[in-house]
């Protein structure tokens, strides 16, 4: 039962880090694409969504492993 609590704590702390990080990446992409004025709204939203999803995929394992290491100390 103790392991389940630790896993739950690690999951919540990790999500509190990688979710805003990924959303910020998508928002920055959208703002950068909007600043140029070239791409259409669909292209900007699609690109921002794509960047957000890729940021989730990349940041999840990195953040989770670092939070686990920090919890062990």
Q: Residue 36 has what pLDDT?
A: 86
Q: What is the pTM of this model?
A: 0.86
- What's the CA gap between 14 and 31, in Å, rounded? 26
Q: Residue 35 has what pLDDT?
A: 93
Identify which of 9, 15, 21 has the alpha carbon closest to the alpha carbon of residue 71. Answer: 9
CB of 22 within 8 A of CB of 52? yes
Each residue's pLDDT, cut to its tens digit, for the chain (73 residues) gives: 588 888 899 999 999 999 999 999 999 999 999 998 789 999 999 999 999 999 999 999 999 999 999 988 7
């Amino acid at each position: 039962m103790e392991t389940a609590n630790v896993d739950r704590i690690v999951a919540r702390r990790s999500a509190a880090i990688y979710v805003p990080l990924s959303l910020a990446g998508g928002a920055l992409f959208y703002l950068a694409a909007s600043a140029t004025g070239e791409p259409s709204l669909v292209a900007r939203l699609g690109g921002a969504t794509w960047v957000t999803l890729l940021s989730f995929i990349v940041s999840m394992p990195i953040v989770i492993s670092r939070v686990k290491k920090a919890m062990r100390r």
